[in-house]
Amino acid sequence: MTIIRDNVQALVCVRLTVPLENPEGGPPAVGYYRWFWATSSPEELRALIEDEVTDGEVDWDATEVNRADVDGLDPDVVVPEPHELAIWHRSGCAFFALEE
């Protein structure tokens, strides 16, 4: 069986296992969004991301996955060959508090 891989970008929503205190005194963070860029098949992507997330659970209903626009990326980002299964770029985390 041939696995077809493509460059994808995923805006992943993570629900933290343990909330994080807000250093500015606001409500604690209960989760975050983070971008991942990867070369994978749709079947492989879920496992790749779940292996990366160690501080909570991925909320797949709140996660968006699209084909990556590699031409629009920073020139310093190295995109691997299409046959290489990998997460090759990550953003920082944008934390959020519990909505009331």
pLDDT tens, position by position, 7-63: 999 999 999 999 999 878 889 999 999 999 999 988 899 999 999 999 999 999 999
Cα Rg of the chain, angstroms? 15
Whether residue 85 is predicted with pLDDT greater than 80 in this model: the reply is yes
For the chain, which residues make up each domain, given as ranges? 6-97
Sequence-distant (6+) residues with CB within 8 A of 95 are 20, 29, 31, 32
**Which pairing describes strands 29-40 and 6-20: parallel, antiparallel, or unpaired?**
antiparallel
Q: What's the pLDDT score for residue 1?
A: 63
CA 96 to chain centre: 15
For the chain, give the longest Cα–Cα distance: 54
Give the DSSP letter of residue 85. Answer: -
pTM, two decimal places: 0.86
Is the CB of residue 58 less than 8 Å from the CB of residue 1? Answer: no
